[in-house]
Amino acid sequence: MGDPGPAGRFGSMGGRFVPEALIPACEQVEEAFRRAWADAGFRTELTHMLSSYAGRPTPVTVADRLSDALGVSVLLKREDLAHTGSHKINNVAGQVLLAQRMGKTAVIAETGAGQHGVATATVAAHLGLGCTVFMGEKDMARQELNVFRMELLGATVIPVTSGSRTLKDATSEALRHWVTTVDSTHYCIGSALGPHPYPWMVREFQRVIGDEARAQCAELLPGAVPDAVVACVGGGSNAAGTFAGFTATTARLIGTEAAGGAALSNGRRGVLHGFMSSFLQDEHGQIAEASSISAGLDYPGIGPEHAYLAEIGRAEYHSVTDAEAVAAVELCAQTEGILCALESAHALAWVRRAARDGELTAGSTVLVTLSGRGDKDVSVLRELIRGRR
């Protein structure tokens, strides 16, 4: 989980596959990030913002009633308690401070579930930069509350009507827009994907999750390290940040994908959005559409570092169905009084299944990253749950 070097490679994954017009922009971002990350003043400024504005550190909650229900000991890393309601603000705070340092006057972003868009609009407003967010038309319909939040924060939200009208197409549109505005604009990618240096940079901004959780587990657990560390994976930023704190330990690292995507088990090597990884593809090699009840996991690929961790056997990745995720939301809400995001519920659903099937032995200790709050999903959940009654 170190520096992927100037080529941006995680084994054979990653890299920088972009139009010639964007190569100088990526190189500028890489140089600026390397300088900033080595600058104690920048790191101090970011830490202060995450503390005084975003509310870090987030706690680890011992989920006693959920543990009793599952037969394993569950700890919840509470990114849902960070400002804006998810882990996204960790990365955005770093990238918008970097944009400011680079002399940019505006940021652009893509968003699926809307949490990254909200976080970008929030920090842009806080620091006085313009903000434009690209969002698939389908995702805008199922995440109307987050669209309004972004607009209330002063951002311009541009609906994307091409392709599947979801996160994949929003990312494509954002990249196209960046080509035309690169002199004044920084593209704030929301997950651990995209051309180098983004997968590495996003992981470094998100590793605060894993570093905090590692120290918190050391205080809470007799053995200091949980048996398993579980996080949901779309592109994979919350998982990359969580895993960064535990790769040097004995903990199992487990990523959970939406069954309608599952780019690692159902995909194959390819290139999209500037990086090489595992992607859903048809028989002709064209990118296939992913589907998930969760807009944040509705992406046909996975970040390159996750593909590498799977390839070398350091992390394992499992798929979770929509029905399992919804049931996990209900279980967490009714045992712990915590309404988690549908994305996060995929991680809890795997723990539930693994405990039931004996893949996790009774009494095992599991750390689950709750990447976000479930407020944004209430309307979707209401229709589903009422519809089955």
3-state secondary structure of 44: helix
3-state secondary structure of 281: strand
Q: How far apart are CA 201 and CA 103, in angstroms?
A: 19
Residue 261 has pLDDT above 80, yes or no: no
Residue 383's pLDDT band (cuts 50, 70, 90): confident
Instruction: Say if CB 206 and CB 192 are below 8 A apart.
Output: yes
Joined together, the tokens standing for residue 354 give: 């693994």
Within the chain, strands assigned E span 9-10, 13-14, 60-62, 73-78, 106-111, 130-136, 156-160, 185-187, 228-232, 252-258, 268-272, 275-279, 315-320, 365-370
Count Cβ atoms below 10 Å from residue 157 Cβ, excluding itself: 20
What CATH number belongs to 57-86+207-387?
3.40.50.1100
Residues 137-141 have a mean pLDDT of 91
For residue 57, say if its preceding peptide bond is cis, omega within 30 degrees of 0. Answer: yes
How are beta strands 365-370 and 73-78 bridged, if at all?
Answer: parallel
b/e map of 321-359 (b: 16 or more CB within 10 Å)?
bbebbbbbbebbeebbebbbbbbbbbbbbbbbbbbeeee
pLDDT, tens digit, for every residue of 85-95?
A: 999 999 999 99
For residue 19, say if its preceding peptide bond is cis, omega within 30 degrees of 0. Answer: no
Residues 221-226 have a mean pLDDT of 94
pLDDT at residue 388, rounded to an integer: 67
CA 339 to chain centre: 18
Residue 389's pLDDT band (cuts 50, 70, 90): low
pLDDT at residue 38, rounded to an integer: 98
Mean per-residue pLDDT over the chain, rounded: 95
Residues that are catalytic: 88, 110, 371
- Give me the phi and psi of 372, to 5 degrees please: -170, 170
pLDDT, tens digit, for every residue of 6-27?
A: 999 999 999 999 999 999 999 9
CA atoms within 13 A on the CB side of 334: 7
- Establish whether domains 9-50+87-198 and 57-86+207-387 are of one fold: yes
Residue 166 has pLDDT above 80, yes or no: yes
- The dihedral over CA atoms of 345, 350, 354, 355, expressed in degrees to the nearest 10, equals -10
pLDDT, tens digit, for every residue of 334-351?
A: 999 999 999 999 999 999
The DSSP call for residue 289 is P
What's the angle, vertex CA 172, arms to CA 84 and CA 132, rounded to 5?
45
Beta partners for 315?
A: 253
When the candidates are 3.40.50.1100, 3.40.50.10090, 1.10.260.40, 3.40.1350.10, the CATH number that belongs to 9-50+87-198 is 3.40.50.1100
Residues 219-229 have a mean pLDDT of 96
**Domain boundaries defined on the chain:** 9-50+87-198, 57-86+207-387
Higher-confidence residue of 383 and 319: namely: 319
pLDDT at residue 303, rounded to an integer: 97
